Amino acid sequence: MLRILPWFYLIVQDELIMFEGILKDFQKLMDEINSQEEDLLKRAERAIPICNKTLSQMQALIEKDDFDSPDIEISFFKNVKVIPMSYLIYFSEVKACELKKPKAGVEFQIRFLEKEIKKINKFFSKNSDFVHYMEQGHTYLDHQFFTRNHRNNFPFTPTINYYQYPEFSTSHDMLWAKIQAMYKYIHYIRESMQKIKPGSIPVYSEKKHQLLLWTASKTALIELIYALYSTRALNNGAVELSTITSSFEDYFNIKLDNVYKTYTEIKARKGSKTKFLEELIIKLQQKIHRDDAI
């Protein structure tokens, strides 16, 4: 089963399984780029062709053998295509920002990034109804938003020509991908501002949870981080693994080094690969049983 898509199998038909290998390869490449490439412009330039290639592979599969039912079509455009599409939009925005950003002058750079934040806020405000629909987990309009039969009802034309093929798009799949991309882009802007001018945005080290310390092993925490990342439990999956890691580091006042190496070691374990997560389940079940017995 594909770890990053546990909801894949909520659809009883197996048709979507044909995308499993494509998405596994894609996610592996994205993880490698994010862990190996420090320069953001180079990272974007490496990632964009991979996103385009992945989308082309998906499009070719659909052209060869279309969906058997509207439910499968909805699931693909709502949950599958959105993954490489959101990365493509995100890295396209990052590339444009890095190229347009002033090369000198801290105040000029900060003002430029502040304008980017205003653009992001304007985008979310303009699409607030759809954002609310998606983030609340509603499905009653999915047949309009995520099937190609209704793509002319609510047209969405992005400002940048990311990847547009009418026969491979619905009225809202691009919008949903851009929403997820903008969550990633917000984090990129905040990090860029902090690097240019420390203190230009609120620093999370001044938060209220200073008394919480992680006292289990670092490996256990990395296991938990990967579980949250795999289940898309944070920001509807529109968040980088590195972002989740840095958030946990801030929250628990801990430094997690060699996260990818530790994950490789977790995968290489003999026996159970998810010791900490299984321990959490056992401990919670034991507490529930004790509470019920009282």
Average pLDDT, 10 consecutive residues per value, the chain (294 residues): 37 59 86 82 93 92 82 88 92 93 89 92 91 85 86 50 69 90 88 78 44 81 92 76 82 79 90 91 91 84
- Whether 226 and 180 share a structural domain: no
pLDDT score, position 225 = 92
Global pTM reads: 0.68
Q: What angle do CA 238, 244, 246 make, to 5 degrees?
A: 135
- Whether 5 and 105 share a structural domain: yes
- Whether 146 and 211 share a structural domain: no
- Whether 50 and 6 share a structural domain: yes
Distances (CA, A) of 85 to 120, 238, 277: 18, 11, 31
* Domain count across the chain: 2
pLDDT score, position 261 = 87
Among residues 201, 218, 234, which one ends one of the domains? 201
pLDDT score, position 201 = 57
- Whether 218 and 136 share a structural domain: no
pLDDT score, position 152 = 57
pLDDT score, position 10 = 37
- Whether 182 and 262 share a structural domain: no
Among residues 168, 201, 234, which one ends one of the domains? 201
Among residues 149, 167, 201, which one ends one of the domains? 201
- Whether 174 and 210 share a structural domain: no
Asked if residue 153 lies in contact with residue 65, where contact means CB atoms within 8 angstroms, the answer is no
- Whether 108 and 149 share a structural domain: yes
pLDDT score, position 240 = 77
pLDDT score, position 31 = 83
Q: Can you tell me which residue has the tokens 């347009």?
A: 100
Range of the domain at 293: 204-294
